[in-house]
Amino acid sequence: MELPQSFVQRMRGQLGADYIRFEQALQKPAPISIRLNKSKLPGQPNLPRVPWTETGYYLPERPQFTLDPRLHAGAYYVQEASSMFLEQALRQHLDLSQSLRILDLCGAPGGKSTHIASLISPDSLLVANEVIRSRAGILAENGTKWGSGNVVVTNNDPRDFNRLPEFFDVMVVDAPCSGEGMFRKDPQAMNEWSDENVNLCAQRQQRILMDVWNALRPGGLLIYSTCTWNLAENEQNIAWLAQQENAQPLSLKLDPAWGVEATSLDGVSGYRFYPHQVRGEGFFLSVIRKAGEYEAPQRSSKKKKYKLTHAGKKEKALVNDWLLEPERFAWVQYGEVISAIPENLFEEVDELYQNMHVIYAGTEIAEVNGKKLKPLQALALSQYLNQEAFRTEDLDLESALRYLRKEDIGISGNSNDWILLQFENQSLGWAKQVGNRLNNYYPKEWRIRMELPDKLAESLELCVKSD
């Protein structure tokens, strides 16, 4: 790996005698880590733990993740270990049993969003945003697979959140950066790196922070992170914001065995991850609290106008038993789609629909087609799916992968049923049996495109398995 010369000079000054170990670490293969979805895969795998999170594990080497149906079912997420440190910021400074409104501003592809969704209470609301439309679609896909049901995916510029003043209790800003911490995983990041790009990124990060700041309530938390090591994009930016807004810097408790380096600049604490000190990639995180005391706005006595409408009684009766705990949900219809949104979040979700570009909200249950209802993919992957309401079929590995490739597969029987297809008890999606023919309803845009190897079992032997 031929590192940029000005980067080498800066890191030599930053690390001193440790620079040699740092450079040697960059020449080694990147570690592989995953984070389990405990609502779908509750067992304890026999794998080394990522120490700063309860659900992260290291794999001995990178398997063919694409060929594991459990990945497509949302049973786990492939995520870089250092970025899982977000869990510490949330656990140490929040009561996660309370109802919270959280914004993940730069959410794609979904690692931090699905992580947050696993940590917050079912009564909390997570808004996962992505400014680039194509990436917002990927974020929605990964959020749907995770199946939490209390997530709204939006596609907005940070400044758009000014329409929601003091709406959020917590903001997570994993800011677009120069990508220094990803050099060994992504050679393109190294090719695009320059001192000029670092400065441009730092300026853009400041603009993003100021654009979205008004949507954070007084007393709320901002968790800022990057995958880079320079001061301009990290300590200097967050210290600048804290000074601009008179925000309170917050610190985190560290286990020395983790190898995370604590830093400080103008009273602001930061936490750096170097590959020669931790089993992970480059990462930085800092936490500040917005000044002031939050006062909940008084509710107006005027009758509100809602953009969302409740599903009709007839449609609701047809889908009511498709979810566990149906009384927890408001059944709404937007266009031809019936969705389930936690009842206590109805007004907040409606406010998002009125002010933001919403890609996806809650759990899309069914599509109305005249008097018929078609169950949707999000229902199959929901953590609240009532499997007993449907006929289910467990597929072997080859059939599961052919289904995920949107190919024809055979199932015995002769009926006109919707069938919930599963692999090792993990729901994959729907098929419709019409006589002796089976129609594959797996989403076309999600399908596996790689060719299947001859020896499928060997391709899976390194993937996560719970005891």
Find out whether 396 is annotated in a ligand binding site. no
Owner of token pair 């993919």: 377
CB 96 within 8 Å of CB 120: yes
* Annotated catalytic residue, options 106, 177, 227, 463: 227
Find out whether 104 is annotated in a ligand binding site. no
Find out whether 23 is annotated in a ligand binding site. no
Query: In Å, what is the CA distance from 201 to each residue of 36, 75, 206, 375, 458?
Result: 32, 35, 9, 44, 43
Helix (H), strand (E) at residue 26: helix 19-26
Q: Known catalytic residue: 177?
A: no
Measure the CA–CA gap between 402 and 247, rounded to whole angstroms.
Answer: 53
Pairing of strands 168-174, 216-226: parallel
The SS3 call for residue 446 is helix
Of 454, 393, 466, 390, the C-alpha closest to 428 is 393
Query: In Å, what is the CA distance from 227 to each residue of 176, 186, 187?
Result: 9, 12, 14
Q: Where are the alpha helices (DSSP H) in 226-285?
A: 235-245
* Total residue length of the chain: 467
The DSSP call for residue 442 is S
Half-sphere exposure (Cβ direction) of 411: Cα atoms closer than 13 Å: 32
Apex 59 CA angle, 286 and 116, nearest 5: 35
Q: Which two tokens stand for residue 138?
A: 């990927």
CB 442 within 8 Å of CB 56: no
The SS3 call for residue 149 is coil
Measure the CA–CA gap between 99 and 122, rounded to whole angstroms.
Answer: 8
- What is the side-by-side strand order in the sheet with 56-59? 56-59, 32-36, 76-78
Residues annotated within the binding site for S-adenosyl-L-methionine are 130, 157, 174
Supply the residues annotated as catalytic.
227
